[in-house]
Structure 1
Amino acid sequence: MQFMSSNSYPIGTPGQPWGAHEKAAWLARQRVQRSYADEVEQHILALRDVFKVEQYGQLTYADGDYGLYGLRSAQWQPNLPTALITGGVHGYETSGVQGALRFAQTQAADYQGRLNLLIVPCISPWGYETINRWNPDAIDPNRSFYVGSPAGESAALMHWLTRMNVQINMHIDLHETTDTDNSEFRPALAAREGKTHDNWNIPDGFYLVGDTFSPVPQFQRAVLDAVQAVTHIAKADENNQLIGSPVVQPGVVNYDTKKLGLCAGVTDALYVTTTEVYPDSAMATPEQCIQAQAAAVCGALGYVLRLKS
């Protein structure tokens, strides 16, 4: 596919990080392209008969106010394991949002009385509407999960989890990689940081990111086993890497989730993974990607339940 070079992004001066002027110029280019209220919010609120729906925050931006919602098992049992499912940290990654919703709508009932569920389908609603990786301040929420976070999206989720004071045993964070990573988001990042970007790899298929310092390979394997019934698993490149990182088992790489400020590091859960799927693949459809995200959740929950039994 075609992509712009790190030095051709239309905002900023090559080699110089952005200041307030450049960030304002970037924001002026953004446009609302779809409706969070229609495609996400109303579907979350429609689950009130199944879950306890909690508005854990609100974001106020120039394009409007956005309610932030979490779904909590209505029949909460303190003696059961608790699983956190998050989507839409990067709002443009559609299957993460819709996959979390699909699971909540069609499969979550199967786990009632077996696990406590916390589901946050869309952490970044402005990003969802503008099909964007960043928030309006040109901040990546998925690099901002740390104390004193400058991203309202990340801070709101952290505050909600802190207020609940619940031990979380498993966390799965639903993401995807699209061709726009190369045509827009990677060049924008390079321009914002005043650096040159040289990794243009986009794995074709589904893969997982684990935690470097808390690897759980059997857990990751269980998730992949569930997903491969729906879509294909990404193969390592000629350097045995995915997206520039060494493959630790087929379909899995590891990151230092806490150091990087990733959503996957927001809790101290033992069983943690981030999903990645490629909706622009010639071998998958957007609907398959949504189904793959829901299957990944089921695979993760099934593994936790087998350990409990």
Structure 2
Amino acid sequence: MTIHANPGPIGIPGEPWGPREKSEWRSRQQVQRSYADEVVAAIDRLRDRFDVQQYGVLDHGHDGRYPLFAVRSRGWDDALPVMLVTGGVHGYETSGVQGALQFLDQRAVEYAGRANLLVVPCVSPWGYERIQRWNADAIDPNRSFRVDSPVRESAALMQLVAPLRDRVLMHIDLHETTDSDESEFRPALAARDGKPFEPGGIPDGFYLVDDSVHPQPAFQHAVIDAVAAVTHIAPADDNGDIIGSPVVAPGVIRYPLASLGLCAGITGARYTTTTEVYPDSPAATPAQCNAAQVAAVCAAIAFALSHAG
């Protein structure tokens, strides 16, 4: 989804934003779609097949109150491995949310009696409604999964997962990389932090982020192979990189997930990955992007189950 930058700069170039600048930024963020209609209603339609848990609520005053929901396997069995699926950590990344919901509706039943599923389709509902990467405090939730996190969205998810942390076998976090990353969000990040904006590029296609501390190349390869049947895989740039990181296998880069405070690093899971779909490609439709996320989730679970011993 292409997002147009808000008109006019905020703050003084070269100086980090303070409370006044952040308040001005927040005032510019307008509701563009409905979390209640597009996410909560879809979760409600799953209640006859899954257990739905409200694990928190975000009260943003005049901007509204947002209940946070997780969807669990019915008949949870502590003897089975736990598979964690998260979406919407960055609210503007549509297929992360809709892909998680589509997986629940169309494919999750296949794993009944084989795995416990815990799916959080939309971690950041305020951002979902405003098609925004940051939360209402102009902070990136996906750099904020830390002890005593100042980001309520991140802290709530960590609290939900904490009792299961050591039992999660696989965690897949569903994201997108959009053209608006370059046109809007990276310039906004530079302005917020009082730094110069350094132009970059957007990968044309799907890719994954593995954990550089505990890499699982065969797991990543299995996910890439499954997604390649649905949409194209991002090639490396002329430097052999994707978004500034070396490509270690087709469509795969690595980050130290936990130390960067990334969502995919919140558990002790053996198998972790972050998906990145490219929805602005002329070769990809919204339906393909959602299907790519579903394919990634299914491949991740299948690999984890087959290597659970």
| Maintained 8 Å contact 1:103/1:297 | yes
Measure the CA separation in 2 of the matches of 1:199 and 1:113: 49
Are residues 66 and 4 of structure 1, via their aligned partners in 2, closer, same or farther at CA, if it must alter by over 3 Å?
closer
The answer for the alignment partner of 1:238 in structure 2 is: 238
Q: What secondary structure, in the 3-state scheme, does the structure 2 residue paired with 1:258 have? A: coil
Runs of 4+ in 1 over 6 A off after TM superposition: 2-5
Tell me if 1:283 matches 2:283.
yes
| Maintained 8 Å contact 1:9/1:187 | no
The answer for the alignment partner of 1:141 in structure 2 is: 141
| Maintained 8 Å contact 1:177/1:202 | yes
Tell me if 1:228 matches 2:220.
no
Q: CA deviation at 1:4?
A: 11
Q: What secondary structure, in the 3-state scheme, does the structure 1 residue paired with 2:272 have? A: strand
Amino acid at match of 2:189: L
Q: What are the residue-to-residue correspondences of 1:158-169 with 2, within 5 Å?
A: 158-164=158-164, 167-169=167-169
Measure the CA separation in 2 of the matches of 1:198 and 1:216: 32
| Maintained 8 Å contact 1:70/1:121 | yes
Amino acid at match of 2:50: F
Q: CA deviation at 1:29?
A: 0.5
The answer for the alignment partner of 2:67 in structure 1 is: 67
Are residues 236 and 9 of structure 1, via their aligned partners in 2, closer, same or farther at CA, if it must alter by over 3 Å?
farther
The answer for the alignment partner of 2:85 in structure 1 is: 85
Measure the CA separation in 2 of the matches of 1:41 and 1:273: 26
Aligned residues: 306
Q: CA deviation at 1:197?
A: 2.8
Measure the CA separation in 2 of the matches of 1:36 and 1:28: 19
The answer for the alignment partner of 1:45 in structure 2 is: 44
Measure the CA separation in 2 of the matches of 1:282 and 1:106: 26
Are residues 134 and 75 of structure 1, via their aligned partners in 2, closer, same or farther at CA, if it must alter by over 3 Å?
same
Q: Sequence identity, in percent?
A: 61
Amino acid at match of 1:280: D
Amino acid at match of 1:36: Y
| Maintained 8 Å contact 2:88/2:124 | yes
Where does the alignment leave 5 or more consecutive residues of structure 2 unmatched? none
| Maintained 8 Å contact 1:199/1:243 | no
| Maintained 8 Å contact 1:173/1:273 | yes
Q: What secondary structure, in the 3-state scheme, does the structure 2 residue paired with 1:91 have? A: coil
Are residues 3 and 174 of structure 1, via their aligned partners in 2, closer, same or farther at CA, if it must alter by over 3 Å?
closer
Q: What secondary structure, in the 3-state scheme, does the structure 2 residue paired with 1:26 have? A: helix
Measure the CA separation in 1 of the matches of 2:201 and 2:114: 40
The answer for the alignment partner of 1:55 in structure 2 is: 54
Q: CA deviation at 1:174?
A: 0.1
Tell me if 1:19 matches 2:24.
no
Measure the CA separation in 2 of the matches of 1:236 and 1:244: 10
Q: CA deviation at 1:15?
A: 1.3
The answer for the alignment partner of 1:196 in structure 2 is: 196
Measure the CA separation in 2 of the matches of 1:289 and 1:226: 13
Q: What secondary structure, in the 3-state scheme, does the structure 2 residue paired with 1:49 have? A: coil
Are residues 278 and 121 of structure 1, via their aligned partners in 2, closer, same or farther at CA, if it must alter by over 3 Å?
same
Q: What secondary structure, in the 3-state scheme, does the structure 1 residue paired with 2:45 have? A: helix
Measure the CA separation in 1 of the matches of 2:105 and 2:4: 39
The answer for the alignment partner of 1:301 in structure 2 is: 301
Q: What secondary structure, in the 3-state scheme, does the structure 1 residue paired with 2:150 have? A: coil
Measure the CA separation in 1 of the matches of 2:199 and 2:245: 11
Measure the CA separation in 1 of the matches of 2:43 and 2:166: 22
Measure the CA separation in 2 of the matches of 1:33 and 1:144: 25
Q: CA deviation at 1:183?
A: 1.4
Tell me if 1:107 matches 2:107.
yes
Q: CA deviation at 1:166?
A: 5.7
Q: CA deviation at 1:308?
A: 3.6
Amino acid at match of 1:186: R
Amino acid at match of 1:168: V
Measure the CA separation in 2 of the matches of 1:175 and 1:296: 11
The answer for the alignment partner of 1:95 in structure 2 is: 95
Q: CA deviation at 1:81?
A: 1.2
Q: CA deviation at 1:291?
A: 0.4
Amino acid at match of 2:24: A
Are residues 259 and 166 of structure 1, via their aligned partners in 2, closer, same or farther at CA, if it must alter by over 3 Å?
closer
| Maintained 8 Å contact 2:4/2:180 | no
Measure the CA separation in 2 of the matches of 1:4 and 1:162: 37
| Maintained 8 Å contact 2:219/2:300 | yes
Amino acid at match of 2:228: Q
CA deviation profile, 1:77-105 (whole Å, cap 9, x unmatched): 11111110000000000000000000000
Q: CA deviation at 1:270?
A: 1.1
Where does the alignment leave 5 or more consecutive residues of structure 1 unmatched? none
Q: CA deviation at 1:16?
A: 0.9
Q: CA deviation at 1:151?
A: 0.6
Amino acid at match of 1:136: A
Tell me if 1:210 matches 2:210.
yes
Q: What secondary structure, in the 3-state scheme, does the structure 2 residue paired with 1:175 have? A: strand
